[in-house]
Amino acid sequence: DAKTTQPPSMDCAEGRAANLPCNHSTISGNEYVYWYRQIHSQGPQYIIHGLKNNETNEMASLIITEDRKSSTLILPHATLRDTAVYYCIARDSGGYQKVTFGIGTKLQVIP
């Protein structure tokens, strides 16, 4: 798996967009970028993934740079329930599916 780097913490005002960056400069061509989040002591929750193109689902948008060395997870209208630790993972979709979570970014949504 490619190494990913995320800021340890971020704050965001409620109702505003939360933009969470992730660097994955050593990502290879067949590695996807995945995002999970973990609300305090609950099981991690899958958010979104992408390979090259930007992706959007009901939870978030994923913007991947053209060179694929970094990406940004966007929560368009953050709520207090979005307060969580967000994990960015770069992983080949083949092989065994161990998911390695690093320390992630602690997002605090402020009222």
Give the footprint of another protein on this chain (CB under 8 A): 32, 34, 36, 41-46, 49, 51, 87, 89, 91, 93-94, 96-104
- Least distance from C-beta 57 to another protein, angstroms? 11
Find the shortest distance in angstroms from Cβ 15 to another protein.
Answer: 27
**Minimum CB distance to another protein smaller for 43 or for 111:** 43
Distances (CA, A) of 47 to 60, 105, 111: 7, 14, 23
Q: Which of 29, 65, 25, 47 is nearest to 101 (CA)?
A: 47
Closest to another protein by CB, 14 or 32: 32
Residue 41 class from Cβ within 10 Å (0-12 exposed, 13-18 middle, 19+ buried)? exposed
* Nearest residue (CB) to another protein, 42 versus 67: 42
Compute the least distance from the CB of residue 52 to another protein, in Å: 11
Q: How far apart are CA 21 and CA 33, in angstroms?
A: 12
